[in-house]
Structure 1
């Protein structure tokens, strides 16, 4: 997972404390020659200048902070055919079929392996079981088409033949409820996926 570098205005707790002290302390040390602070001069503006916002921890849409992108992309090879499975939460915002900006790097990495691939590349979208079947079918189809289009855009004339289809929630790989009927969010996330199958490795 990429980590965002601290911004130029991010200060540690000690620096913030020092800034507040300059604003709020009624008198400064006499031997430093500093001008004493005036408590009556404290305003909303001076406090706003002293308090520095801290960036929140980085995250990826749909992914818990403890999980990595690598764990949400798997690969299986069998009989000369490779299937790369990508969690839909890596590629799309919730209930959306437009690829996120972050998804472009993932697609570019896979597209490089498909250049000049023999046969037809299959892109299959899958949804979780939330919602009705017709809606899930349409969403899975739209997501498969979005991935297909991104691969074709990435490779241009070198793109292989690609077929896209959606299978809705008809082929789950994990049980979405436990034995007591309680929802299992991690299983639903596992079922939301796009599979790319091609000849070779």
Structure 2
């Protein structure tokens, strides 16, 4: 009888121990974590740092040749005794317009200064790109040449050289507007939109 009582007492003690361990584990799981002195800003900073990855510029930057997309505002060519100053039409006019824009004055004033001592006739020739109807382009290029002629005459005043204006449309391109792949080349078209001012001397 005593042995049975001892066994039951041992079993009860073991059960109580297991129960106390289980309760302690449950209490530990249900208790909120103790962050102590952890600053919320530290948490945000850590999260931000974990979300940032290094990026290699070489994987996203493509080499670009600026000469294909940047057109010179003014070019000059001397052939024998004749000087030809070529000005991009995009500098002088808005798209599809024949009225000089605000930026044209400075450009043409500089050219006019060189024409003051010219004795021969000054030629102003307008050119367009190949987009659109030929007749329309010829008229547009002629109107633009006339606008440049008038601006030069106004700047020179009386006593200046004779100035003649004409338009050639897209008949005399200086660049091929279709690339080797058959695609349109906007940079080439920009080169073809121009006004040429020719005179004797320099």
- TM-score, normalization: structure 2? 0.65
Shift of 1:78: 1.5
Matched residue SS, 1:160? coil
CA distance in 2, matches of 1:77, 1:118: 17
Gaps of 5+ in 1: 1-63
Whether the 8 Å CA contact 1:129–1:169 is kept in 2: the answer is yes
CA distance in 2, matches of 1:102, 1:85: 16
Question: Structure 1 187/67 Cα, relative in aligned 2: closer, same or farther at 3 Å?
Answer: closer
Gaps of 5+ in 2: 1-66
Segments ≥4 residues shifted beyond 2 Å: none
Residue 124 in 1 paired to residue 122 in 2?
Answer: no
Q: Which residue does 2:109 correspond to in 1?
A: 108
After TM superposition, the structure 1 stretch with the greater mean CA deviation from structure 2, 169-178 or 71-80, is: 71-80
Shift of 1:118: 1.4
Q: Which residue does 1:163 correspond to in 2?
A: 164
Structure with the bigger percentage of helix: 2
Q: Write out per-residue CA displacement over residues 115-140 of structure 1, whole angstroms, 9 at most, x where no aligned residue.
A: 13111000000000000100000000
Q: Which residue does 1:76 correspond to in 2?
A: 77
Q: Which residue does 2:142 correspond to in 1?
A: 141
Q: Which residue does 1:95 correspond to in 2?
A: 96
Whether the 8 Å CA contact 1:116–1:158 is kept in 2: the answer is no
Question: Structure 1 99/119 Cα, relative in aligned 2: closer, same or farther at 3 Å?
Answer: same
Shift of 1:181: 1.8
Matched residue SS, 1:175? coil
Counting matched residue pairs gives 135
CA distance in 1, matches of 2:191, 2:154: 27
- TM-score, normalization: structure 1? 0.65
Matched residue SS, 2:158? helix
Matched residue SS, 1:163? strand
Mapping of residues 187-198 of structure 1, within 5 Å: 187-198=188-199
Q: Which residue does 1:44 correspond to in 2?
A: none
Shift of 1:159: 1.9
